[in-house]
Amino acid sequence: MKKIFMEIAVAVLFMCASVVASAQTYKVIDKSIAVVGDEMITLSSLEDQAHMMIAQGMASETNARCSVLEQMLDSKLFLMQARVDSLSVNNDMVEATLSDYIDNVRRNFGSDEKVEEYFNKPIYKLRQTWKEQLTEQNLTQQEQQMIAAKIPEVTPQDVKSYLDTVNKADLPIVPIKYQLSQICIYPDREAAAMAVKEKLLNLRERIINGEKFATLARIYSEDPGSAQKGGELGMTPKSYFWPVFSDAAMSLKPGVISQIVETPDGFHIIEVIAKKGDMFNARHILMKPSYTSADKDKAFKTLDSLKTEIENNAVSFSLAAGFYSQDPATRTNGGQMADPNTGSSYFEIDQLKPADYKAIAGLKEGEISQPIESLDNEGRDGNLVYKIIKVDKIIPAHTATFENDYTQLQDQVKMQLQMEELDKFVNERIKDTYVVLDPMFQKCDFTRKGWATKFRK
């Protein structure tokens, strides 16, 4: 599959802020290295993108610039057509992406001043540059989508024709999939929450009475990222945190200890060190509800009894889930699990919680696991839950077939046709577009041979 679809701009121009931070400073004597119609590519913009790709490990020093240049050339053709088609920029999407990107950069460097020092530009100019790049990306992606949308709907006959002509070794391998149902019991979360709050209130009182917040954070905080730093989070945009955490922190005066703040991660007390605009640096102590062996024993005893009753045909798994499961997402559906991201009732191995897969590995269809301790899908990491899992159906790993995997094959054919349509567009535009390339890149082995005919004499 050729590298010309939606990732052309996004994957190259806007890497995560950690990549930017790891890149080393370099100097480039700027000049124009390519003209595509009325669009220009500068050496500095090429170096910026190639440098990021190398830092990300996506390319080597020897091939990065040629590869990136070809991607930029392709992208300029789509951008030109987007302007011809009078496409409108999705400003809301651009602003949202820009805001997230700037927040990541600021968090990575720690302050606006450090960002400006690294890039040797004021933050407002950086914002302007990045917005221009994102605006071009948005237009380019819209044009690619328009071109790809021109292909007709893929029919069963298209899929059959594809299967008749494709090398069987190139057909996708469909991994093993499981359809599962569960019965979940939660530990006494209310009692555990009360116990955590009591501990945090005690710590808060000790801090108010003179003990150092940082010392207690190192000892008691359950946030591994900040505990060793005395609970300090570093100067960070407020949008990075849960809203309730940011609101509490931004309302505090430096040195004041917050009341207990509950987030999906657990319970916190917070001390703000400094605030600047929409950024703040704070310390926190995070504590999560913990449960006793008695909670586990009680839940396991109930689940084991249910498993026995179901296996003895005294009650169906579906009916038992409706009566006993405490998971609202599955109890009304007879316990049947669904991927929260896709809504599919079939799971591949890497879509399952590790504890869940370990419990069902080796089970046959219709069998039920032993009671296990696992996590739900709430918060960042999930909440503790006890469960039994029934294997409803197993689809073994296999080469995709028309009868069993039509939708997957249809998607593959559609993607292939879209790529061919985009390739056709670029190859045709190379022929009839004014393009001039700097001879310094004459040794590049471009994927599209048309670019090799465009060097300045």
Domains of the chain, start order: 7-153+414-453 (1.10.4030), 177-186+291-399 (3.10.50.40), 190-287 (3.10.50.40)
Confidence check: pLDDT of 26 > 80: no
pLDDT of residue 8: 36
**Torsion angles phi and psi, residue 149, rounded to 5:** -75, -10
pLDDT of residue 101: 84
In this structure, how many other beta carbons lie within 10 angstroms of the beta carbon of residue 8? 21
Q: Convert the pLDDT of each residue in 257-294 to its tens digit.
A: 999 999 988 999 999 999 988 889 999 999 998 888 88
* C-alpha to C-alpha distance for 74 and 449, rounded to whole angstroms: 12
**Are the C-beta atoms of residues 26 and 440 closer than 8 Å to each other?**
no
The alpha carbon torsion through 110, 113, 116, 120 (nearest 10 deg) reads -120
3-state secondary structure (DSSP) of residue 40: strand
In this structure, how many other beta carbons lie within 10 angstroms of the beta carbon of residue 300? 17
pLDDT of residue 57: 59
Q: Convert the pLDDT of each residue in 57-73 to its tens digit.
A: 555 555 678 988 999 99
Residues shown for the chain: 457
Residue 355: both structure tokens together: 């504890």
Question: What is the end-to-end Cα distance of the chain in Å, rounded?
Answer: 32
Confidence check: pLDDT of 422 > 60: yes
Question: What pairs with residue 346 in β-bridges?
Answer: 179
State the chain's mean pLDDT as an integer: 88
Question: Nearest Cα to 241, choosing from 276, 277, 282?
Answer: 282
pLDDT of residue 89: 92
Tell how strand 346-348 and strand 372-375 pair up.
unpaired
The beta-carbon contacts of 111-114 under 8 Å, at least 24 apart in sequence, are 111/235, 111/276, 111/279
pLDDT of residue 58: 58
**Are the C-beta atoms of residues 271 and 283 closer than 8 Å to each other?**
yes
**pTM, rounded to two decimals:** 0.67
pLDDT of residue 18: 37
Question: Nearest Cα to 290, choosing from 199, 219, 203?
Answer: 199
Give the HSE-up count for residue 6: Cα atoms under 13 Å, Cβ half-sphere: 7
Give the HSE-up count for residue 60: Cα atoms under 13 Å, Cβ half-sphere: 2
Confidence check: pLDDT of 13 > 70: no
Confidence check: pLDDT of 411 > 80: yes
Q: Is 269 exposed, middle or buried (0-12, 13-18, 19+ CB in 10 A)?
A: buried
User: What does the DSSP 8-state code read for residue 150?
Assistant: T
Mean pLDDT (whole number) for 216-233: 94
> Position of tokens 């999939």?
177
In this structure, how many other beta carbons lie within 10 angstroms of the beta carbon of residue 247? 12
pLDDT of residue 29: 61
Alpha helices in 85-223 (DSSP H): 91-109, 112-119, 123-148, 156-165, 189-208, 213-220
Q: Convert the pLDDT of each residue in 129-182 to its tens digit.
A: 889 889 999 999 999 999 999 999 999 999 999 999 989 888 889 999 999 999
Q: Which amino acid is at 249?
A: A
* C-alpha to C-alpha distance for 220 and 222, rounded to whole angstroms: 6
Mean pLDDT (whole number) for 9-16: 38
Mean pLDDT (whole number) for 365-383: 89
Q: Convert the pLDDT of each residue in 101-111 to its tens digit.
A: 888 888 778 78
Q: Which amino acid is at 170?
A: D
What percent of the chain has pLDDT above 70? 91
pLDDT band at 54 (very low <50, low <70, confident <90, very high): low
In this structure, how many other beta carbons lie within 10 angstroms of the beta carbon of residue 185? 21
3-state secondary structure (DSSP) of residue 232: strand
* C-alpha to C-alpha distance for 153 and 131, rounded to whole angstroms: 35
Residue 283: both structure tokens together: 């310390």
Q: Convert the pLDDT of each residue in 172-215 to its tens digit.
A: 899 999 999 999 999 988 889 999 999 999 999 999 999 999 99
Residues 6+ apart with CB under 8 A from 300: 371, 386
Q: Convert the pLDDT of each residue in 244-257 to its tens digit.
A: 999 999 999 998 99
